[in-house]
Amino acid sequence: MVLQWFRYAKMYRAKVGPLSDDDIYTLLSKLTSNADLAVLFESFRQLPELEKLGKRMQSVVFRKWIRGEMRPDAVAGQLGLESSASALLKMDLRCKIHEDYAVEFVKDLHRKAFREHFIRLGAAKAS
């Protein structure tokens, strides 16, 4: 059912105009957890027609986690990677999500460190 809704949302965007990724996230986040949304969006990435949408939507979830300063180990806990899983596919998707998020988390740390270093350089020159 959710897959059909996303297909409809994609067609809606094409015909009517803006329905932002953040709007979609806001609607769906009221119904389920970020971890479940990340799994859903990762599964979309496996479908050629929804691959780009899945990647964008997963980025929205990652940004929420980053803004919340969630470390990758906390995300692993939310994804249930600490407990045994009954479905291998689901676990594989969760492992992929965790790996992708860890990369985004490190990129964000590097961006922040670079920005802070740049600011310190500017302050040192002004002195």
- Residue among 76, 45, 63 nearest 105 (CA): 63
Predicted pLDDT at 85? 45
The pTM of this model reads: 0.64
Do 21 and 41 meet the contact criterion of CB atoms below 8 Å apart? no
Name the pLDDT band for 90 (thresholds 50, 70, 90).
low
Name the pLDDT band for 126 (thresholds 50, 70, 90).
low
Task: For 95-116, write each residue's pLDDT tens digit.
Answer: 888 889 999 999 999 999 888 8
Position 97, amino acid: I
Task: For 7-58, write each residue's pLDDT tens digit.
Answer: 777 777 777 777 788 888 888 888 889 999 999 899 889 889 889 989 999 9
Mean pLDDT confidence for 51-71: 93
In sequence order, the 6+-apart residues with CB closer than 8 A to the CB of 35 are 75, 78, 79, 80, 94
- Helix, coil or strand: residue 33: coil
- Half-sphere CA count of 118, side-chain side, radius 13 A: 6
Higher pLDDT, 5 or 115: 115
Maximum pairwise Cα distance, the chain:
61
